[in-house]
Structure 1
Amino acid sequence: MNGMSVDVPEMEELLRPVPVARYGDDADGAARGGALHLSSLLPALACAIGHPTPTAVHRDPDEAHRKLGLPEVESAVVVLIDGLGYWNLAMRLGHAPYLRSLMNEPANQRPISTCAPSTTVAAMSTFGTGTCPGLTGMTGYTQRNPETGELAQMIQFRQAIAPRDLQRQPTVFELLRDRGVRVTSSGLPKFAASPLTEAALRGTDYISNVAPRDRVLAAADAARAPGLTYLYIRDADKIGHTYGWDSDKWIGTFERIDAQLALLRRSVPKGTLIVITADHGMVSSDPQRRIDIAVTPQLARGVAMVGGEPRSVMLYAQEGEDPEDIADRWREFLGDGAQVRTRAQALAEGLFGPVEPRVEPMIGDVLVSAVGSLTLVDSRTQTAQAMQLPSVHGAHTMLEMDIPCLIDLA
Structure 2
Amino acid sequence: MTEVLAAAPIVPTYGAGALSDVVPSMAASLGLPGWTDVLGLPEAPRWVLMLVDGLGDLNLAAAAADAPFLTSLRETGGALTAGVPSTTATSITSLGTGLTPGQHGMVGYSFRNPVDGGLLNALAWQDGLSAYDVQPRLTAFERLARAGVALTTVSPARFAGTGLTEAALRGARFQPVPDESDHAARIGWTADAAASGQRSLVYLYERSLDHTGHGQGWGSPQWREALRRVDALARDVRAALPADARLLITGDHGMIDAPRDRWVIVEDVPELGAEVTLLAGEGRLRQLYARPEHVAAVADRWRDVLGERAWVLTRDEAIDADWFGPVDGRMASRIGDVLVAMRDDGAVMTRTQPREFGLVGMHGSLTELETRVPLLVA
Q: TM-score under structure 2 normalisation?
A: 0.94
Alignment of 1:261 with 2:234, yes or no, is yes
Alignment of 1:48 with 2:16, yes or no, is no
Tell me, yes or no, if the aligned pair for 2:29 and 2:42 is still in contact at 8 Å. yes
Shift in alpha-carbon separation, 1:96–1:320, aligned structure 2, 3 A:
closer
Structure-2 residue corresponding to 1:181: 149
Structure-1 residue corresponding to 2:51: 80
Aligned-partner Cα distance in 1 for 2:14–2:75: 28
Q: Which moved more, 1:218-227 or 1:334-343?
A: 218-227
Provide Cα deviations, 1:183-206, integer angstroms capped at 9, x if missing partner.
111121112222111010111112
Alignment of 1:147 with 2:115, yes or no, is yes
2:364 to 394, 399, 410: 394
Aligned-partner Cα distance in 2 for 1:359–1:264: 38
Structure-2 residue corresponding to 1:407: 377
Tell me, yes or no, if the aligned pair for 1:80 and 1:233 is still in contact at 8 Å. yes
Aligned-partner Cα distance in 1 for 2:366–2:128: 25
Aligned-partner Cα distance in 2 for 1:138–1:172: 15
Aligned-partner Cα distance in 2 for 1:120–1:278: 9
Provide Cα deviations, 1:361-380, integer angstroms capped at 9, x if missing partner.
2111110000111100111x
Shift in alpha-carbon separation, 1:71–1:268, aligned structure 2, 3 A:
same
Q: Relative contact order, CA 8 A, sep 6+: which one is greater?
A: 2
Alignment of 1:312 with 2:303, yes or no, is no
Structure-2 residue corresponding to 1:7: none
Shift in Å at residue 259 of structure 1?
A: 0.6
Aligned-partner Cα distance in 1 for 2:13–2:69: 31
Shift in alpha-carbon separation, 1:20–1:43, aligned structure 2, 3 A:
same
Provide Cα deviations, 1:125-170, integer angstroms capped at 9, x if missing partner.
1111111111111111111114322111111213785212210121
Provide Cα deviations, 1:46-99, integer angstroms capped at 9, x if missing partner.
111112454xxxxxx14x1xxx22111111111110110111111111011211
Aligned-partner Cα distance in 2 for 1:229–1:140: 25
Q: Which amino acid aligns with 1:122?
A: T
Aligned-partner Cα distance in 1 for 2:292–2:240: 61
Please list every run of 5 or more consecutive structure 2 residues that lacks an aligned counterpart in the other structure. none
Alignment of structure 1 residues 1-400 onto 2, 5 Å: 12=4, 15-24=6-15, 34=16, 36-52=17-33, 54=35, 61-62=36-37, 64=38, 68-105=39-76, 108=77, 110-158=78-126, 161-209=129-177, 210=179, 211-225=182-196, 226-317=199-290, 319=291, 321-379=293-351, 381-383=352-354, 385-400=355-370
Tell me, yes or no, if the aligned pair for 2:74 and 2:374 is still in contact at 8 Å. no
Tell me, yes or no, if the aligned pair for 1:208 and 1:215 is still in contact at 8 Å. no
Tell me, yes or no, if the aligned pair for 2:10 and 2:371 is still in contact at 8 Å. no
Provide Cα deviations, 1:243-282, integer angstroms capped at 9, x if missing partner.
1111111111110111111111111121311110111000
Q: Alignment identity in percent?
A: 37
Q: Which moved more, 1:202-211 or 1:71-80?
A: 202-211
Aligned-partner Cα distance in 1 for 2:330–2:74: 41
Q: Which amino acid aligns with 2:19?
A: L
Aligned-partner Cα distance in 1 for 2:7–2:236: 36
Question: SS of the residue aligned with 1:168?
Answer: coil
Shift in Å at residue 320 of structure 1?
A: 6.0
Q: Which moved more, 1:342-351 or 1:221-230?
A: 221-230
Tell me, yes or no, if the aligned pair for 1:43 and 1:53 is still in contact at 8 Å. no
Aligned-partner Cα distance in 2 for 1:215–1:137: 31
Tell me, yes or no, if the aligned pair for 1:77 and 1:223 is still in contact at 8 Å. yes
Q: How many residues align?
A: 372
Aligned-partner Cα distance in 2 for 1:69–1:353: 21
Aligned-partner Cα distance in 2 for 1:148–1:269: 47
Output the aligned Cα RMSD: 1.8
Aligned-partner Cα distance in 1 for 2:340–2:152: 38
Aligned-partner Cα distance in 2 for 1:407–1:160: 40
Q: TM-score under structure 1 normalisation?
A: 0.87
Tell me, yes or no, if the aligned pair for 1:185 and 1:230 is still in contact at 8 Å. yes
Shift in Å at residue 398 of structure 1?
A: 0.3
Q: Which amino acid aligns with 2:374?
A: P
Tell me, yes or no, if the aligned pair for 1:153 and 1:160 is still in contact at 8 Å. no
Q: Which amino acid aligns with 2:218?
A: W
Q: Which amino acid aligns with 2:122?
A: M
